[in-house]
Amino acid sequence: MSRHPLLFPVTGLAVLIGFMAAAAAGAAEPATSFAFDFGIGAAKPGYVKVLPSAVYTKEVGYGFDLGTTPMPFAGGVTSEKPFFFSVAVPEGNYNIAVTFGDAAGACVATVKAESRRLMLEEVATAAGKFETRTFVVNVRNFRIPPPPQNAPGGDRVRLNDREQGVLHWDDKLTLEFSNTRPCLDSLLIDKVDNIPTVFITGDSTVTDQPREPTASWGQMLTRFFKPDVAIANHAESGETLKSFITGLRLDKILSQMKKGDYLFMQFGHNDQKANWPQTYVEPFTTHKQYLKVFIAEARRRGAIPVLVTPMQRRNFDDQGKIRNSLGDFPESVRQTAKEENVALIDLTGMSIKFYEALGPTKAPLAFSGGRDATHHSDYGAYELAKCIVEGIKDSRLDLAKYIVEDYQPFDPAHPDPPEAFKLPVDPGRSNVPPRGDPPPPPAK
């Protein structure tokens, strides 16, 4: 692969100048294509030179973010700690081409986007070698097209307090570079409108968890798909089928949904809570009906609905078997899939195989902090994302053709050893449990 491919029809410098001029003039249409060159020396033709001292501001529209500053080398920038680079962009799907490498040394990079979505895992280049990797990032904000005059509805998603200021609801694209020596040479960004989008709905076990030590399968799924499809994870902690409607989260998705897109639905952990009277649903009546509303709305727009049964909690009996803590809700999802002829991914069953294969002693390694019985660690989220990929394959969804070439078949009854799992830890950390679930049990 060439070191500096010209992948896009408009040069980054011209576009960036146009973007800055438009911003200064208050124009309504900012640029959606960029080309950035990092490191020492003059910028490559058509690229904007970005020095390590470039700090992101709304006025400039790009720069290193979240208080991180990488170090320069002859051909780019690197750091021993994770560093972030942000670009102000309109919401949409963006094709990202990153060139890694160093003429004088070896490099290893991992890339995440927005709130810890895993995009690239351990990209290694030898000294003198350069490699360009491409992926797609979905960027969104909380705004919704306003309803007509006198019509019910709203013009924004009703975000909760813990969503204020998170990277997956703002007006910029943020990339995180980490690992032992991430050598960032250059970066190309271009908005794409003609690829299918996988919209994901669900709760804290699915959402893009913004801080360590908690992670969810929705933010790991991106690692397993080619840049021919976008993953838009709209799940949020504490959400239910009802609250997804009343909070206008479903409206946000439907306002962007097009023919050929997908709608994944995993609910149950919070819907089952009878002590939440405003959002409680009964498994074989209201639960089914709300699922069918989601299904009908997706089909009305030409999208493909996919039902996912919720994963079990880590609750072992004396024989090392997982107790059912979800009642009849997984069965309700299964029945709804049959009644509506909808693809089904049985994550309930696969999660049981996964936890029992690890056993009571090792299973805590798949969960947040090792104590949480509901929410997962990076390792647990990664393995559950593989379960979702297997479910996509087993359901024979057309989406399966976009699975990355290096994906290896996965059996949850024989998971990857937790001791062998390596993913750079993010700098942000929180000991506050996600919304909607009780605090973790005391350590034994």
Query: Looking at residue 254, what is its pLDDT?
Result: 98
Beta bridge partners of 156: 143
Residue by residue, DSSP assigns 49-117 as: EE-TT-B--TTT-EEEETT---EEETTEEE-SS-EEEEEE--SEEEEEEEEEE-SSS-EEEEEEETTTE
Give the count of alpha carbons within 13 A of 368, CB side only: 26
Domains along the sequence of the chain with CATH: 1-194 (2.60.120.430), 195-420 (3.40.50.1110)
Query: Looking at residue 30, what is its pLDDT?
Result: 83
Q: Are 311 and 347 in contact (CB under 8 A)?
A: yes
- Of the candidates 137, 143, 298, the one whose C-alpha atom is nearest the C-alpha of residue 221 is 137
CA distance 378 to 220: 8
Q: Are 174 and 63 in contact (CB under 8 A)?
A: no
CA distance 233 to 138: 8
What is residue 25's DSSP assignment?
A: H
Query: Looking at residue 3, what is its pLDDT?
Result: 41
Query: Looking at residue 177, what is its pLDDT?
Result: 98
Structure tokens at 86: 């942000």
CA distance 427 to 425: 7
Cis amide prior to 283 (ω within 30 degrees): no
Q: What is the mean pLDDT of each run of 10 residues along the chain (444 residues)?
A: 38 46 55 93 92 96 97 94 97 98 96 98 97 98 95 96 94 98 98 97 97 97 98 97 98 98 98 94 98 98 98 97 97 98 98 98 96 96 98 98 97 97 93 69 40
